[in-house]
Structure 1
């Protein structure tokens, strides 16, 4: 395995693989931003190897004689990692890390949880890639990130003497708590349909229609057959009162959950909201009860009032984090080689 550099530097392949879409890009070494970003529908390919091969073939055709195939890759996937076999939580993709590495002709393939990669991106994000409630969080200490996409991801980032260390978890599957009597009634309705009501069950793309139907039932109103995107659009522009009420509850409950994440991690450096859903209605989000509910933790209100929160508006932040993971891995390998 070649951990060092070659005479002609080869790019890295990075991917952010969610339940619905996968995003691929190339990175020209340490500190370089992702380039030639391309998004594909997971349903259009049998697995990530097939999707990556199609992407790389397009890049090779565009580059012509100047093409250099990637030697390292990092895939950020929306599922727990740690074993060779990767089973996507909200997708049909199932694959082996080792077999994928060999099939793509790589020297190394890193597999990260998608919110582990998102966490690793945080120190390198520029102010224009964020939108904060007040002052921007400073990239120091302990940070946390969560975000509704197809599912609900949660991750943490610790500043250590040896650099940043990401913590991958499955906090989105923690039990969701009600913040008031109305939410308690909503959860009661949802529990009639599901044995366990996790945060992801309502605070995600797959969960927003469930939340919409439950709120309709609590309010005694008829619910239409709407997608998460339709609920978000109609709620944000105020054209549908039930959708607006759903979006209001979504932001409030997300705030309460984010406050729980901040307390659990001790994320005094800041809590970041990622994922693909909230940026679609960012103005509504910043005018919502999110921050109010984030701070509403009784005796720990003052603690949370001092914790900054920000929305990640960079749509490809996880690709930056995947590149940071490769950079860190190669740096450790080089350091160990010199020590030997």
Structure 2
């Protein structure tokens, strides 16, 4: 922020994170709380300001939902967020809003090499797009495209594409998952609740996603089948999206679910399905894939957004271009 401080907010369906960007561009320690702890974002901001004593001049928000205008609805939570309303309520000037995975994509050039744990080797083309696929509460997708000056971020609702089967066995599995939903999207299976749905399809038992991972680590057959199926389908969807975005700059798996899976994340199943695209197998084999291991990466993207844009010339309540 050029002339003052800014509130950075990473707003998800499960958790919300606030941090202060100071006048020197440093990001303060984050405050993390359940999104459901407050009825509105305004109430959450007011509570944070009262608790910390911070009075930011501007705000930049990363929101888990499509950003198409002044009012943004979270995909997996009832909050509705108005940029102009926040500007009027708190005096923020400006209020910039972007999709949360788009913010992660924008952060990629500013993160250290150590933040990227290799999943699949390859050779990145620096002139091509980099793709972020983020399984968490939902399944977020965004891409970072090099431009003549700086970068352009392309948001996407790619997580809601229809999930396709690779073979007859997987088609039968998806039919079992489809029982309670006419449309079965990639997010339905590859976001965190989908891991529990997969386990239920194999076992008939309802347990939490964390319990699936623990059971897989203990060697339980249905849990291992569920995690293997999950990793294979995530690889297949990531490969499809890499082709759609021509992501020869590399694919980054973000979101907290793959990291929480630990040793149950089946890299071999993921890689096989990522490259299993017929005549485009060699194209995908050349694309490096990494797992993002960085705390609160959306904050770095929001800070870059504020740093890059001539904010003092913008009117309050403007949604950031992505």
TM-score, structure 1 length as denominator?
0.86
Q: Does 1:192 align with 2:173?
A: no
Q: Secondary structure at the match of 2:130?
A: strand
Cα deviation for residue 100 of structure 1 reads 1.4
CA contact (8 A) 2:2 2:23 kept: no
Cα deviation for residue 29 of structure 1 reads 4.7
Q: Does 1:23 align with 2:17?
A: yes
1:247 maps to which residue? 227
Number of equivalent positions: 313
1:173 maps to which residue? 160
Cα deviation for residue 94 of structure 1 reads 1.6
Cα deviation for residue 333 of structure 1 reads 4.8
Cα deviation for residue 247 of structure 1 reads 0.7
Which runs of no fewer than 5 residues in structure 1 stay unpaired?
Answer: 61-66, 217-221, 335-340
**Which residue, 27, 31, 39 being the options, matches 1:46?**
39
Q: Does 1:107 align with 2:88?
A: no
CA contact (8 A) 2:124 2:248 kept: no
Superimposed CA distance per residue, residues 53-102 of structure 1 (whole angstroms, 9 cap, x where no aligned partner): 22222222xxxxxx6x2212111111111222221110011232211122
Superimposed CA distance per residue, residues 144-200 of structure 1 (whole angstroms, 9 cap, x where no aligned partner): 101111110000110000211101110000011112222111112222321101000
1:11 maps to which residue? 5
Q: Does 1:131 align with 2:117?
A: yes
User: What is the alpha-carbon distance in structure 1 between the residues aligned to residue 93 and residue 125 of structure 2?
Assistant: 32
Cα deviation for residue 244 of structure 1 reads 1.4
User: What is the alpha-carbon distance in structure 1 between the residues aligned to residue 148 and residue 110 of structure 2?
Assistant: 18
Which runs of no fewer than 5 residues in structure 2 stay unpaired?
Answer: 315-322
User: What is the alpha-carbon distance in structure 2 between the residues aligned to residue 37 and residue 137 of structure 1?
Assistant: 34
CA contact (8 A) 1:11 1:72 kept: yes
Q: Does 1:154 align with 2:134?
A: no
CA contact (8 A) 2:120 2:271 kept: no
Cα deviation for residue 326 of structure 1 reads 1.5
CA contact (8 A) 1:14 1:73 kept: yes
User: What is the alpha-carbon distance in structure 1 between the residues aligned to residue 150 and residue 207 of structure 2?
Assistant: 45
Gap change, CA 1:332 and 1:260, over 3 Å in 2: farther
**Which residue, 73, 87, 103 being the options, matches 2:59?**
73
Superimposed CA distance per residue, residues 230-262 of structure 1 (whole angstroms, 9 cap, x where no aligned partner): 212322x13422111101110110000000010
Cα deviation for residue 286 of structure 1 reads 5.5
1:269 maps to which residue? 249
CA contact (8 A) 2:101 2:298 kept: yes
Q: Does 1:227 align with 2:213?
A: no
Q: Secondary structure at the match of 1:165?
A: strand
CA contact (8 A) 2:122 2:287 kept: no
CA RMSD of aligned residues (A): 2.1
Gap change, CA 1:116 and 1:30, over 3 Å in 2: farther
User: What is the alpha-carbon distance in structure 1 between the residues aligned to residue 78 and residue 309 of structure 2?
Assistant: 29
Q: Does 1:83 align with 2:82?
A: no
Gap change, CA 1:138 and 1:58, over 3 Å in 2: farther
Give the structure, 1 or 2, with the largest relative contact order (CA under 8 Å, sep 6 or more).
2
Q: Secondary structure at the match of 1:207?
A: helix
Which consecutive aligned stretches of 4+ in structure 1 deviate over 6 angstroms post-superposition? Answer: none
User: What is the alpha-carbon distance in structure 2 between the residues aligned to residue 151 and residue 256 of structure 1?
Assistant: 17
